[in-house]
Amino acid sequence: MSHGKLIVLEGLDGSGKATQAKRLAAALAAEGRLVREITFPNYASDSSALVRMYLAGQFGARPDDVNAYAASSFYAVDRYAGYKADWGRFYEEGGILIADRYTTSNAVHQCSKLPPEEWEQFLHWLFDYEFHLLGLPAPDCVIYLQVDPAVSQKLMTQRYHGDESKKDVHEKDVEYLARSRKAAEFCAAHLGWQTVPCTCGDGMRSIEEIGQEVRRRVDAALAE
């Protein structure tokens, strides 16, 4: 069955996913492409209620208080609702979707709750659950925006103007972010993700420079 393309931008919090997704979608639209940007979780939808409760700490103050399989289900149901009620038809009719996070975020953040020897088993379950059992489309290309956790923390502090109370349970946990980085590096290496380094020394590369590299990777995926 003919369908569109799904391009996913993945990375730690503060890596610039939202910025690059918007830039990429705008550039493709300016060229006359049929394109939409989608973001997960969809905080504006009732489907993200469990995600919002989880991130607000209502199920526990630390990410590890909710196991990887339960937390993955919260996010997967939000994606399923969006697919059925919003962007699924656009994709099935040939549109290009630019996703800021996707199933890949479950891979990164929930793997980090498990010992490394269980990662492959979890990833097999996750992709079978979302792509086979739920019937969600698998990405055509995943671009991993690679950023150091220390830089990520600095950027998030700037985002919230120094108010640490605004961070969710993921963003507050420095040790958890470090584990997520290791899981992300594993996923990128073993799942064929396209890695785009975003840091240079102790700071970020320019938005334009990162965007140019992202666009090169996307053009190759769209040409396939």
The predicted-structure confidence for 27-53, as pLDDT tens digits, reads as follows 999 999 999 999 999 999 999 999 999
pLDDT at 1: 47
Average pLDDT value for the chain: 91
Name residues whose C-beta falls within 8 Å of residue 197's C-beta, 6 or more positions apart in sequence: 146, 205
pTM, full prediction: 0.90
CA distance 84 to 121: 28
What does R_g of the chain's alpha carbons equal in angstroms?
17
CA distance 207 to 212: 9
Terminal alpha carbon distance of the chain: 16
pLDDT at 155: 63
Per-residue pLDDT, averaged over 185-200, amounts to 93
The two structure tokens encoding residue 206: 């320019």
pLDDT at 24: 98
Per-residue pLDDT, averaged over 145-160, amounts to 69
Per-residue pLDDT, averaged over 205-212, amounts to 94
- The partner residues of 200 in beta bridges, in order of sequence, read 203
Q: How do residues 70-96 score in pLDDT, each as one tens digit? A: 999 999 999 999 999 999 999 999 999
Per-residue pLDDT, averaged over 124-149, amounts to 95
pLDDT at 9: 98
CA distance 20 to 24: 6
Q: Say which CATH architecture domain 5-223 belongs to.
A: 3-Layer(aba) Sandwich (3.40)
CA distance 110 to 179: 10
